[in-house]
Amino acid sequence: MTHSLHRSGPIESQKKDFNWFMYQTKGVNDVNIKPKALEFIAAAEAVGSENWGDVKSGPRTQYKTEEIIDRITDKSRIRGVFTKREQVVEFLKIMKEKDTGLSVVITGVLSEVLPACEEAEVTPHSINYSLGVWGKKDNLPDDTTLSITTMCGHHMIPPKYVEHMMDQVKKGRLTADEAAIKLANFCYCGIYNQVRCSDIISKTVNEAAEKEVASTKE
């Protein structure tokens, strides 16, 4: 549950990070969902969803659309990523019109999501708030690493792997986009925002390089 809720990082970066979800309710509307799932996928693709997937198959960054669609069952969980508020608005307009009867959920920065709902003339029903991280936080990785790992809510991305990818990009063995795809592939669900991840990696690597140059000059 709540696996898209605790994404972290600077707010401007998070404003480019939305998740969309299709959800069937056990015992109510969870039979023969494939035609409805296809409506969700068509709407998401029409507005350019950057990544999407089915936890039972895997993400679009790793599997072809046809492979995921072929494997849709009533147990599937279809969800994905948008990077712009305008996509959310258009997606919601389509899903409201299609009226599939399945639950629709959007995760994102609330000051972006609520105006998008208003523009799409959709009335929010309920909300799940993140009240932050508690406990022994001393053992957590740094904020930049967390902003990358928390985009996989099942926490399948090890901080050590983020470090490894950063190192590969620094050494020129991978581009930031390639590293971001490798990280996205850890996330079964397709909610990993590889576009935002690539931006974070580029920014971090560039800043480290600039620091190195500055210290050399000193």
Partner 1 sequence: MRIDQEKCSGCGICIPYCPANAITIVNKKAQIDEDACFECGNCSRIRVVRCPKKAFFEQPGLYEGTRAARKFFSDPMTTHSVTKIPGRGTEEVKTNDVTGRVVRGQIGIAIEMGRPCLGTSMEQVEKMTSALGTLGIEFEEMNPLTHLMDDREKGTIKPEYMNEKMVSAIIEFGIPVSQMVPVINVIKDVANKLDTVFSLDMIYRFEEDGSLPIVPVLEDMGIRVRKNSKVNLGLGRPVVTR
Residue ranges in 88-127 that form contacts with partner 1 under rule CB under 8 A: 92, 95-96, 99-111, 113-114, 117, 122-127
Choosing from 161, 195, 199, 202, the residue that interacts with partner 1 (CB under 8 A) is 161
The tokens for 99 are 């009226």
* Burial tier of 172 (Cβ tally within 10 Å: 0-12, 13-18, 19+): exposed
Q: Does 135 bind partner 1 (CB under 8 A)?
A: yes
Q: Does 10 bind partner 1 (CB under 8 A)?
A: no
The CA distance from 204 to 198, in Å, is 10
The CA distance from 168 to 179, in Å, is 8
Interacting residues of 134 by C-beta distance below 8 A, sequence separation 6+? none
Q: Does 170 bind partner 1 (CB under 8 A)?
A: no
Q: Does 49 bind partner 1 (CB under 8 A)?
A: no
Q: Does 171 bind partner 1 (CB under 8 A)?
A: no
The tokens for 204 are 């971090």
Do 181 and 196 meet the contact criterion of CB atoms below 8 Å apart?
Answer: no
Choosing from 26, 64, 171, 217, the residue that interacts with partner 1 (CB under 8 A) is 26
If the CB atoms of residues 95 and 200 are measured against partner 1, the closer one turns out to be 95
Residue ranges in 67-86 that form contacts with partner 1 under rule CB under 8 A: 75
Choosing from 41, 55, 169, 176, the residue that interacts with partner 1 (CB under 8 A) is 55
